[in-house]
Amino acid sequence: MTLAIIGGTGLTQLSELNITGRQTLTTPYGDPSADYVTGELNGQQIIFLARHGHPHTIPPHKINYRANIWGLKDLGVTKIVAVAAVGGITADMAPARIAIPDQLIDYSYGREQTFFADDLDEVTHIDFTHPYTPSLRQQLLSAADSAAISIVSTGTYGCTQGPRLETSAEILRMERDGCDLVGMTGMPEAALARELGIDYAALAVVANWAAGKGAGEISMEEIAQHLEAGMSDVLNLLNCLISA
């Protein structure tokens, strides 16, 4: 298995990673967000990619998701754990908690969302009934258990376009649709991984109550503070996943 971690807001680098190399790749779809960093975490070789670039400068709607995923495939990656900051919509999804979503709804638009667009021999439709690979989710749930981290074990992730946060009416609509979490980068990342046959699961770190669900407006300070609190759990969980 070659495991990759895609780090989002709050995780632009893995400081525990004992870096052994860096690869600058280009792909038929353009350049990935950053160099692919190879290194050892807990004695295991892994690959790390900063989704928003390093430093953190690429907004969610401008990320070259196709290049990012193509590059990982090129490097022989078979499993991706995507770390992503989210807003919490439903009651369990309190700031600084970690959730392992099992479903998603895509509200994003205008993103390059497939490898199966041009020069096709035949039209291709991937199955996406379970957008997060069940076996990899299970490994994350077991790792959380071993690390004694209390996580929310299911949830529906709604992917919005950003970069602005949502209105409270949009969040109420998403809640009626069945969303528990809201983020801006889950799609098309998950679908592109499926198109290339790479297992994919997400660790969603709740950064704030979604619009209208908390007291007052959402501040960047609040987001940074909760992400910092949640990231230590993410690191413990990843360590347990890798040593399992």
Query: What residue type is assigned to position 201 of the chain?
Result: A
Q: How far is the CB of 151 from ligand HPA (least distance, A)?
A: 17
Query: Binders of ligand HPA: how many residues, by CB under 6 A?
Result: 13
Of 138 and 168, nearer to ligand HPA (C-beta) is 168
Could you list the beta-strand ranges (E) of the chain.
3-7, 18-23, 36-41, 44-50, 79-88, 98-99, 103-106, 156-159, 181-183, 199-209
195-234 residues near ligand HPA, rule: CB under 6 A: 207-208, 210, 223
Instruction: Select the span of 17-25, 47-55, 66-74, 176-184 touching ligand HPA (CB under 6 A).
Output: 176-184
Q: Beta-carbon neighbour count of residue 178 at 10 Å?
A: 13
- Pairing mode, strands 18-23 and 36-41: antiparallel
Torsion angle of C-alpha atoms 43, 44, 47, 52, degrees rounded to 10: -60
Cα torsion 127, 176, 60, 76: sign: negative
Query: What residue type is assigned to position 189 of the chain?
Result: E
Q: Is 87 in the site for ligand HPA (CB under 6 A)?
A: yes
Candidate list 75, 165, 196, 224; residue touching ligand HPA; CB under 6 A = 165
Q: How far is the CB of 35 from ligand HPA (least distance, A)?
A: 24
Q: Is 184 in the site for ligand HPA (CB under 6 A)?
A: yes
Q: Is 63 in the site for ligand HPA (CB under 6 A)?
A: no
Q: How far is the CB of 152 from ligand HPA (least distance, A)?
A: 15
Tokens 């669900």 appear where? 213
Candidate list 64, 160, 193, 240; residue touching ligand HPA; CB under 6 A = 160
Please give the backbone phi and psi of residue 240, each rounded to the nearest 5 degrees, phi first. Answer: -70, -35
Query: Is the separation of the CB atoms in 107 and 226 below 8 Å?
Result: no
Q: How far is the CB of 162 from ligand HPA (least distance, A)?
A: 6
Query: Is the separation of the CB atoms in 203 and 237 below 8 Å?
Result: yes
Of 199 and 233, nearer to ligand HPA (C-beta) is 233
Residue ranges of the binding site:
9, 51-52, 184-185, 208-210
Q: Is 85 in the site for ligand HPA (CB under 6 A)?
A: yes
Candidate list 6, 34, 182, 202; residue touching ligand HPA; CB under 6 A = 182
Q: Which residues bind ligand HPA (CB under 6 A)?
A: 85-87, 160, 165-166, 182-184, 207-208, 210, 223
